[in-house]
């Protein structure tokens, strides 16, 4: 089948690579020529383990092409996948800027040469499929374009495996012919890696995506609230999560307490879903309070510092990690950067390090590079050397392996804040360090 993937961001590029690996002819279309040139030249606009190899394979086998020419991309296409960004903003009631979705649909409608299935992959509010139908009716009434919801559930950093071998595939369509096309699209993948395939109506598929993200955000927020209680009563939140997780109805995954959820999905989606409830005048107390709960988790570092020291002015902190989670260079809604900004605003100096995300962090923190208060370091050792305190903000595996005796030697102060429960408190205390950890009594 010929598949066009509109948008070569995180979801788009992974979709291109994986669909090609299952034998489809895939065209990656983007309006950004520089980005396309970078990808075709063997580069990648972001860091995602395993993606480069899979793209190279598809390119060398001739299954993948990239273009900025919409006519070339869409001629003879059976399926067009919408993978464009849906950032916060915009004039609509759900608080998302859907202008890139609208522009992409117009492109598809204008350049499609025959019937095709238009697939919503971008995270969109429930009901978007109906709005896309309206657009198709405006721009391509008689072309036989149908709109399907086929949400992705990939995690950055594990996106390739999540897409090659997903827990499930969800396809929502309001007509049987579209379901048939989608079954053909996924047939080779289901043969290679069988998984549940749920065919639903379109609104149901849209809700499955939003509800899944909201539920995972709820699990994280729930354990973070429990962690705050553990700190007060002297319980161990990791053991609590283990104890809860053994109950098969609960499950251990996504019960890792920390500094809250960041990234391009959960923070935006929790706000977006709340807005959808409000727009429909339906009360949703759990979902409506998720952002508030996450704000509490995000403020753990500043709350802890408030207890540990009298003032932040004149202090230097090493912040380990800039990306919103390990194995990615994505810094969108990164809690690590939120902490850096909070420290700098409070007058502290920051020595920031990350294995891959410093270039993207620098772009976000551009305005903060003043008076030498923010220094970028190539390694954890460089960042920690001369610091009064160390803050573990992102749980990159190399930080978990740091030796507390070495750290004590490198630092001028003794303060250590483990926001991601990576370090053994007793070993740090034995090294003479003053140790604080999420979910643990100081
Ligand atoms: C998330 C979902 O996991 C994917 O299923 C979904 O497809 C994607 O959003 C999306 O909607 O596109 P992602 O944002 O890449 O994927 O990252 P996650 O691994 O889910 O982590 C999100 C945040 O939660 C991170 O800040 C992470 O540190 C935090 N987290 C995660 C915790 O604090 N504790 C946990 O136990 C798990």
Give the Å distance between the CA of 236 and the centre of ligand 1. Answer: 23
Report the predicted TM-score, pTM, of the whole model to 2 decimal places: 0.95
Of 344, 358, 265, nearest in space to 301 by CA: 344
**pLDDT at residue number 311:** 95
Residue whose entry in the numeric block shows the structure tokens 């849906």: 86
Contact 353, 379 (CB under 8 A): yes
Cα separation of 104 and 123, whole Å?
14
Contact 104, 124 (CB under 8 A): no
By alpha-carbon position, which residue is closest to atom 36 of ligand 1? 254
Q: Which residues pair with 27 in a beta bridge?
A: 4, 65
Of 299, 278, 160, 438, nearest in space to 416 by CA: 438
Report the sign of the C-alpha dihedral through residues 319, 325, 330, 336, in that order. Answer: negative
**pLDDT at residue number 86:** 87
Q: One digit per residue, pLDDT tens: the chain, 442 residues?
A: 999 999 999 999 999 999 999 999 999 999 999 999 999 888 888 889 999 999 999 999 999 999 999 999 999 999 999 999 988 877 676 778 889 999 999 999 999 999 999 999 988 888 899 999 999 999 988 899 999 999 999 999 999 999 999 999 999 999 999 999 999 999 999 999 999 999 999 999 999 999 999 999 999 999 999 999 999 999 999 999 999 999 999 999 999 999 999 999 999 999 989 989 998 999 999 999 999 999 999 999 999 999 999 999 999 999 999 999 999 999 999 999 999 999 999 999 999 999 999 999 999 998 877 668 999 999 999 999 999 999 999 999 999 999 999 999 999 999 999 999 999 999 999 999 999 999 998 8
| Whether the CB of 258 sits within 6 Å of ligand 1 | yes
Residue whose entry in the numeric block shows the structure tokens 């395993």: 50
By alpha-carbon position, which residue is closest to atom 9 of ligand 1? 265
Residue 428 CA to its chain's centroid (Å): 31
**pLDDT at residue number 223:** 98
| Whether the CB of 254 sits within 6 Å of ligand 1 | yes
Report the sign of the C-alpha dihedral through residues 329, 334, 336, 340, in that order. Answer: positive
For a ligand 1 pocket test, name from 221, 254, 263 the mutation site with the most ligand atoms within 8 angstroms of its C-beta: 263
Cα separation of 178 and 118, whole Å?
9
CB count in 10 Å sphere of residue 114: 12
């Amino acid at each position: 089948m010929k598949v066009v993937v509109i948008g070569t961001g995180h979801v788009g590029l992974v979709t291109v690579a994986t669909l090609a690996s299952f034998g489809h002819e895939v065209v990656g279309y983007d309006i950004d020529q520089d980005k396309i040139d970078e990808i075709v030249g063997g580069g990648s606009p972001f860091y995602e383990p395993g993606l480069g190899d899979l793209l190279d394979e598809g390119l060398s086998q001739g299954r993948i092409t990239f273009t900025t020419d919409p006519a070339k991309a869409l001629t003879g296409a059976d399926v067009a996948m919408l993978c464009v960004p849906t950032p916060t903003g915009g004039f609509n009631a759900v608080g998302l800027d859907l202008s890139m979705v609208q522009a992409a649909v117009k492109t598809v409608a204008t350049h499609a040469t025959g019937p095709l299935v238009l697939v919503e992959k971008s995270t969109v509010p429930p009901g978007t499929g109906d709005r896309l139908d309206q657009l198709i009716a405006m721009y391509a009434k008689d072309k036989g374009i149908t709109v399907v919801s086929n949400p992705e559930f990939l995690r950055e950093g594990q996106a390739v495996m999540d897409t090659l071998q997903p827990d499930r595939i969800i396809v929502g369509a309001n007509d049987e012919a579209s379901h048939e096309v989608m079954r053909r699209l996924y047939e080779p993948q289901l043969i290679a890696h069988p998984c549940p395939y749920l065919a639903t109506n379109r609104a149901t598929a849209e809700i499955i995506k939003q509800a899944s993200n909201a539920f995972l955000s709820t699990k994280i927020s729930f354990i973070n609230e429990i962690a705050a209680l553990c700190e007060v009563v002297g319980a161990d939140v990791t053991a609590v999560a283990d104890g809860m997780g053994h109950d098969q109805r609960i499950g251990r995954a996504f019960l890792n307490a920390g500094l809250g959820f960041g990234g391009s999905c959960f923070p935006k989606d929790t706000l977006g879903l709340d807005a959808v409830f409000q727009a429909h005048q339906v009360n949703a107390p759990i979902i409506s309070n998720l952002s508030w709960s996450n704000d509490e988790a995000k403020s753990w570092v500043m709350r802890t510092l408030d207890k540990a020291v009298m003032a932040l002015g004149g202090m230097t902190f090493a912040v380990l990690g800039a990306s919103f989670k390990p194995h990615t260079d994505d810094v969108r809604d990164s809690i690590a950067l939120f902490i850096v900004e909070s420290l700098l605003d409070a007058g502290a100096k920051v020595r920031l390090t990350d294995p891959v995300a410093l270039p993207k962090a620098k772009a976000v923190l551009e305005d903060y590079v003043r008076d030498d208060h923010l220094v970028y370091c190539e390694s954890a050792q460089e960042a920690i050397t001369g610091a009064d305190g160390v803050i573990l903000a992102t749980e990159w595996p190399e930080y978990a392996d740091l030796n507390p005796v070495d750290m004590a030697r490198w630092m001028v102060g003794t303060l250590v804040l483990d926001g991601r429960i990576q370090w053994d408190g007793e070993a740090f205390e034995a090294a003479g360090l003053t140790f604080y950890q999420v979910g643990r009594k100081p």
